[in-house]
C-alpha cells in the first residue's frame, strides 16, 4: 500500500501538470482494463480505493465522478453498493457528442449531406431483412402522424416522431457505427426549433408527400427490393432537405444533459 503511494506520487512528479485526481481516474481505468472487468463488475469501494491508492477521500471521489461523467462507471449507495463498471450508454454518448457540436454551428445542409448517403445505405442494407414485428414497429410510428397536425403541440410531436421513424429503422442495422450516427442526426434535427410553420395549411400536401415516401419505403423494405428501397429513401431525403432548409435556425444550440 505504501508502495502504491510512492508509485503514484512519483508518477505525479513526472507529468507534473496533471493532478492527482486525473492520475487516479486513469489508474482506475487501467485497473478495469487489466482485470478485464465487464459492465456490472464491481470496483473496490471508496474506502478500499482510498487504501489502494493511498489518496484522500475527496481525491478518490473526484476521480470516480470523472469516470461517471464519461459513463464508464455507476455508483450505488447502500449495502452491496459501490462503484460498478458500466457500459457507456448511447444516450450519454450522444449527449457528449452534442456538446462538441454545440460550438460548431451545424447547418441543416451539412446534416443532409450525410443523411442523403447514410439513410439510403442503411435502408437498402435492411431491405428484405426485417421480420414482421420490426415492420410493425415502423408502422406504429407512422400511425402517430397519419393526419395533418392541428396544434403547435402536435406539430412538434409529429416532427419528433417522423425522425423517430428513421431512428427506429437504424436501430435494426447491425452496423453499430451507422446506427449511432443516424440516431445522432435524428437527435440533432429533432432539436431544431420550428420557427417557420413547417405544417402550416399551405404545406399540408408537402407534409403528406413526406409521409408517403415512408409508406412506399416500408413496402419496398418488405419486398426486399434493395435498389428501389435505396432510391425511395434518397428521394425522401432530398425532399426533406428542401422542406427543412426553410428553417434558418441552426441546430444544437444548447448543452445537453445525460440519460
Partner DNA sequence: ATCTATTTGTACGTATGTATT
Partner DNA sequence: AAATACATACGTACAAATAGA
Residues engaged in binding DNA (CB under 7 A): 16-17, 19-21, 45-47, 55-59, 61-62, 64, 75-83
Cα(38)–Cα(30) distance, integer angstroms:
13
Residue 212 contact, options DNA, a second copy, none, Cβ 5-8 Å cut-off depending on partner type? none
What cell was used for 43?
Answer: 470496483
| Selected binder of a second copy within 58, 143, 146, 208 (CB under 8 A) | 58
Residue 143 contact, options DNA, a second copy, none, Cβ 5-8 Å cut-off depending on partner type? none
What cell was used for 34?
Answer: 487489466
Closer residue to a second copy in complex, CB, 100/202: 100
Closest CA to 121 of 214, 226, 236: 226
Interface with a second copy includes 106 (CB under 8 A)? yes
Instruction: Tell me how many helices (H) and strands (E) the chain has.
Output: 11, 2
CB of 6 to DNA, least distance (A): 12
Contacts of 259 (CB under 8 A, 6+ apart): 89, 91, 92, 95
Cα(110)–Cα(114) distance, integer angstroms:
7
Please choose, out of 6-14, 97-105, 199-207, 231-239, the segment that lies near a second copy by the rule CB under 8 A. 97-105
Interface with a second copy includes 113 (CB under 8 A)? yes
Number of other CB atoms surrounding residue 63 within 10 Å: 24
Give the chain's length: 259
Per CB under 8 A, residues contacting a second copy are 21, 25-26, 29, 32-33, 39, 58, 61-62, 65-72, 87-88, 90, 93, 96-97, 99-104, 106, 110-111, 113-114, 117-118, 121, 125, 174-178, 180-181, 185, 254-255, 257
Amino acid at each position: 500500500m505504501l508502495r502504491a503511494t510512492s508509485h503514484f506520487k512519483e508518477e505525479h512528479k513526472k507529468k507534473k501538470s496533471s493532478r492527482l485526481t486525473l492520475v487516479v481516474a486513469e489508474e482506475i481505468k487501467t485497473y478495469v482494463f487489466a482485470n478485464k472487468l465487464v459492465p456490472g463488475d464491481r470496483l473496490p469501494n471508496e474506502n478500499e480505493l482510498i487504501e489502494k491508492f493511498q489518496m484522500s477521500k475527496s481525491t478518490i471521489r473526484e476521480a470516480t465522478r470523472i469516470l461517471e461523467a464519461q459513463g464508464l462507471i455507476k455508483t450505488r449507495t447502500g449495502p452491496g453498493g459501490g462503484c460498478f463498471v458500466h457500459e457507456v450508454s448511447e444516450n450519454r454518448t450522444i449527449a457528449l457528442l452534442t456538446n462538441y457540436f454545440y460550438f460548431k454551428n451545424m447547418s441543416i445542409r451539412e446534416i443532409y449531406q450525410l443523411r442523403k448517403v447514410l439513410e439510403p445505405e442503411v435502408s437498402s442494407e435492411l431491405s428484405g431483412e426485417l421480420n414482421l414485428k420490426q415492420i410493425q414497429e415502423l408502422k406504429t410510428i407512422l400511425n402517430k402522424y397519419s393526419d395533418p397536425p392541428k396544434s403547435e403541440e402536435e406539430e412538434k410531436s409529429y416532427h419528433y416522431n417522423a425522425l423517430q421513424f428513421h431512428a427506429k429503422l437504424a436501430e435494426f442495422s447491425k452496423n453499430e457505427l451507422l446506427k449511432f450516427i443516424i440516431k445522432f442526426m435524428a437527435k440533432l434535427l429533432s432539436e431544431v426549433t420550428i420557427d417557420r410553420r413547417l405544417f402550416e395549411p399551405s404545406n399540408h400536401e408537402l407534409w403528406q408527400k413526406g409521409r408517403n415516401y415512408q409508406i412506399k419505403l416500408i413496402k419496398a423494405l418488405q419486398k426486399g427490393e434493395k435498389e428501389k428501397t435505396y432510391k425511395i429513401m434518397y428521394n425522401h431525403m432530398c425532399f426533406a432537405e428542401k422542406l427543412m432548409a426553410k428553417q434558418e435556425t441552426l441546430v444544437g444550440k444548447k448543452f445537453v444533459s445525460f440519460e
